[in-house]
A and B are shown apart, each in its own frame.
Chain A
């Protein structure tokens, strides 16, 4: 059952108080923050709930206020009945609880949105209406916000979102195979409706809030208008409550791996931010798969370290993997299990799988999930892997040549899915040598050669560094532009010259001025040309071979 309104408010206040922000605790900005988060909730960006910790043997019970952001990440604002014992233990417990709640919170999100937040929203509407027109019967005022035009618009926005939420809730229940049993029951959680929770201690708001902040920040960037406003408000609230600073999804420091005589990876420094799609390029044997295995803690680094969301991949792989999904380069799965059974199994291990989204993905990828893996073609086995990974909605997707074996239509579906993941604020490491795919999807690109990152940047930056071709035809005789730094000249016909320009094109333009230029075309290099540029020259090739 939905938590009481007072309880929600208390929870928020307590959470804010725990944060040590007196000003906020005094109640001045609480309403504003609430409105910010609520606006985002109404827009379907976040959800909020008061949850009771799941009871598990050998673990203390936790409860608290859960703010789900972007349907996936939870922010634990307060904690009830924290575990007694050493502080370190408590911290760990709190974090574990959050991870568990993140798992359930996502699935509950739509339900919570429909139930708790409808109630909360109505209360705020009533409150505002009371202030605007005291004395009138509440029943007359409807349930949408009335104060300002922007809010009005927000109210209109609500209907389809609520409808959608209700549809999803009923679908989730249908999938659970038990329409009668409450959702909370099935998920093994309890939505508290008795007595206000006590918040004695704030559990690591910084760490918990990071994900929320990232997601909201990316929403602020990717959405427009009202949604953007809502997200921005929510972001500010969450950021202030948690004092969160972003932690990169992937961070490696001088990461090296040596297999016997072969140096497979040489002091790699890599950083991928949440909401970023990073293209990881390199020829066969450059160290792409090695990198991913080190990132997952499957192989042990010879030097340096790799961290996922600040968690060392080798030291604590289980914790690191909670926010990661992986698609292996080859679809090695259990031949005797069907696709559906594979999803079930992998999903249970991850504990974060969104079954509704998974079914959508099965439809979109046109997979027959009842077929056994051994009866599937390579492309279809690849789809099984991809769906299992995408359905987790993990904060970080590690994709090792994910489209190998997929047909062009399915490749388009995959691209859409990655775009959606980015919009949700998930980080993606896309290891590939299909350059068109990387060009279409990636925000940043790193080029690996013989275990070293030889170039890195946005596509624009890479283009800037690589030579661009400028073709010029002259109306008069061919001029002598003299020597310009970074410019190479070649003849391209009786009255035409071709310039290969590295860096800025300005000096060349100045030099050409007054020479009777008839036409001038300039072409930026494609990613393919940039890539080939890095592998040009026999010396480089030898280096590439040595590392492969």
Chain B
């Protein structure tokens, strides 16, 4: 019998593409949306050159802003602004997508035992590996097209838009390579993602240091995120620098392939311990065991958020409102950045990202609880004299406690950082800023719990989707000139950004109340439904 050309390879690639399509589509919308909104709002907010000059003067030297978006090269043209704002933001999203896509296609499949089934077919290890990467590449092309379409729709030059798209896609390629390698190194999906996120975090920190510290600008060449900056879309492009991401992603992908075809299926280079003396701590109840299982991710979250808070504090001293007119400050405010021209205002503005982090943490905890159910381990637990309400309540309580730790930790460490560089902001006020993250975090935790109880299979997607939507809604709703009450739907909008703004007690109380209601409803609904497998 004749074998169809690339039959199994095509099947593998098709499957891998289909597995990742929801995430790819979501990211595609995000890319297109940001690419369209940023240039359009810039054009509307700063129609005149004078405005733009003032804007450039204040932002060009603002280290705190550079921290997020990198170094601007031209803030006087729409294209230059777009390259800075869109390129800077999306580089990170691109890295996250590349990492998740590679690990999902390679390590998660292998951990689930499905790679074994594939390799049992008439297909070699090498071509199976390449087929998966082919599917990931197809997704990357999709993101490129989404970004390109968004930019062109915003009336930017076609050539430059394609180049900016290419720049962002180059970050995707590098982090697909990173994900491919960590998938070979780590024995499990979680560890592979953890290692990849660590690489991303280091790249980010190196870029931040290079962008905000004088004299070490060359460091930019040491990080993939810096390469994207140095490619300088719209502002004196240097396409020759593309050689760096291209070469490094090829090297990483080939390295990962060599590792993949040599090692035993199912193993990682980091061999986990196969035997261990029994550790009897944290086994006394389902909640204790959940803490035991989540220890690793709790530590990663705490150190990640804490480290970021410290950096934020350390650079908060570069903020100054000198020379910026009140009307311009208002206009900057319209860009979704609040009053960020004082250290305290800046800290308050940045805390919206910590609110996001705390919310995402809560959702991730519910997602892990759902994995427990999908993996049918929950069935084993609930066949014992363990009440459903107690189990879910315990999981939610752990997530809430973790959220408290993250929030307060972020506040304290930001204060430590700010204090070290001599920015005077009261400790109590910063702890308050941290605690201010909680109401939104708890609300999303409750919503995620309710989604879990009502629509278990779709719950993880729903919960992450609602958080992302609310966040993007808050950032861009104001820019689009939507009525106040429409923007106010997003809980992020209803927070007073302590310490820059006063604490909104009413909003916080309403959110905590809603959180309690949704959590209670979640526990009640979960007690009334069938357990649902994957």
Q: Contacts of B284 on A, CB cut-off 8 Å? A: 348
Q: Are A317 and B276 in contact (CB under 8 A)?
A: no
Q: Are B278 and A317 in contact (CB under 8 A)?
A: no
Residue of A nearest to B532 (CB): A299
Please tell me if A18 contacts chain B, counting CB pairs below 8 Å. Answer: no
Q: Contacts of A54 on B, CB cut-off 8 Å? A: none
Q: Contacts of A296 on B, CB cut-off 8 Å? A: 379, 382-383
- Bound CA span A319–B386, Å: 9
Q: List 7 A-B contacts (CB under 8 A).
A: A317-B387, A326-B383, A328-B376, A332-B376, A333-B377, A334-B289, A368-B275
- Bound CA span A348–B289, Å: 11
Residue of B nearest to A319 (CB): B385
Q: How many residues of A contact B (CB 8 A)?
A: 40
Nearest Cβ distance between residue A392 and chain B, in whole angstroms? Answer: 9
Which 5 pairs show the lowest CB-CB distances between chains A and B? Answer: A326-B383, A340-B278, A375-B274, A299-B530, A332-B376
Q: How many residues of B contact A (CB 8 A)?
A: 33
Partner of B293 from the list A299, A324, A334, A375 (CB cut-off 8 Å) is: A334
Q: Are B280 and A341 in contact (CB under 8 A)?
A: yes
Please tell me if B384 contacts chain A, counting CB pairs below 8 Å. Answer: yes
- Bound CA span A328–B275, Å: 24
Q: Contacts of A318 on B, CB cut-off 8 Å? A: 385-387
Q: Are B376 and A298 in contact (CB under 8 A)?
A: no
Partner of A351 from the list B283, B286, B385, B528 (CB cut-off 8 Å) is: B385
- Bound CA span A470–B286, Å: 59
- Bound CA span A450–B283, Å: 41
Please tell me if B121 contacts chain A, counting CB pairs below 8 Å. Answer: no
Nearest Cβ distance between residue B234 and chain A, in whole angstroms? Answer: 48
Q: Are B293 and A298 in contact (CB under 8 A)?
A: no
- Bound CA span A330–B529, Å: 22
- Bound CA span A319–B387, Å: 9
Residue of A nearest to B387 (CB): A318
Partner of A372 from the list B272, B379, B384 (CB cut-off 8 Å) is: B272
Q: Contacts of A83 on B, CB cut-off 8 Å? A: none
Q: Are B283 and A345 in contact (CB under 8 A)?
A: yes
- Bound CA span A419–B289, Å: 33
Q: Are A324 and B380 in contact (CB under 8 A)?
A: no
- Bound CA span A334–B272, Å: 14
Question: Which residue, A293, A330, A336, has most C-beta atoms of chain B within 10 A?
Answer: A336
Q: Are B530 and A372 in contact (CB under 8 A)?
A: no
Q: Are A346 and B386 in contact (CB under 8 A)?
A: no
Contact residues, A326-383 vs B (CB, 8 A): 326, 328, 330, 332-336, 338, 340-341, 344-346, 348-351, 368-372, 374-375
Partner of A293 from the list B283, B384, B531 (CB cut-off 8 Å) is: B531
Please tell me if A322 contacts chain B, counting CB pairs below 8 Å. Answer: yes
Given A333-B377, A349-B386, CB of A338 within 8 Å of CB of B529 = no
Given A293-B531, A326-B380, A369-B278, CB of A341 within 8 Å of CB of B385 = no
Given A338-B276, A344-B283, CB of A317 within 8 Å of CB of B376 = no
Please tell me if A321 contacts chain B, counting CB pairs below 8 Å. Answer: yes
Q: Identify the A interface with B (CB < 8 A).
A: 293, 296-300, 317-319, 321-322, 324-326, 328, 330, 332-336, 338, 340-341, 344-346, 348-351, 368-372, 374-375, 385, 398
Known pairs A321-B383, A326-B383; list 18 more (Cβ under 8 Å).
A293-B379, A296-B383, A298-B382, A298-B531, A317-B382, A318-B386, A321-B385, A321-B386, A328-B376, A330-B376, A332-B379, A336-B272, A338-B275, A341-B279, A341-B283, A345-B283, A370-B278, A375-B274
Question: Which residue, B278, B293, B380, has most C-beta atoms of chain A within 10 A?
Answer: B380
Q: Are A344 and B276 in contact (CB under 8 A)?
A: no
- Bound CA span A280–B382, Å: 22
Nearest Cβ distance between residue B294 and chain A, in whole angstroms? Answer: 11
Please tell me if B381 contacts chain A, counting CB pairs below 8 Å. Answer: yes
Contact residues, B340-387 vs A (CB, 8 A): 375-377, 379-387
- Bound CA span A24–B289, Å: 51
Please tell me if B388 contacts chain A, counting CB pairs below 8 Å. Answer: yes
Nearest Cβ distance between residue A53 and chain B, in whole angstroms? Answer: 19
Nearest Cβ distance between residue A54 and chain B, in whole angstroms? Answer: 15
Q: Are B384 and A350 in contact (CB under 8 A)?
A: yes
- Bound CA span A427–B533, Å: 28
Q: Contacts of A322 on B, CB cut-off 8 Å? A: 385
Q: Contacts of A330 on B, CB cut-off 8 Å? A: 376
Q: Contacts of B380 on A, CB cut-off 8 Å? A: 326, 328, 332-333, 346, 385
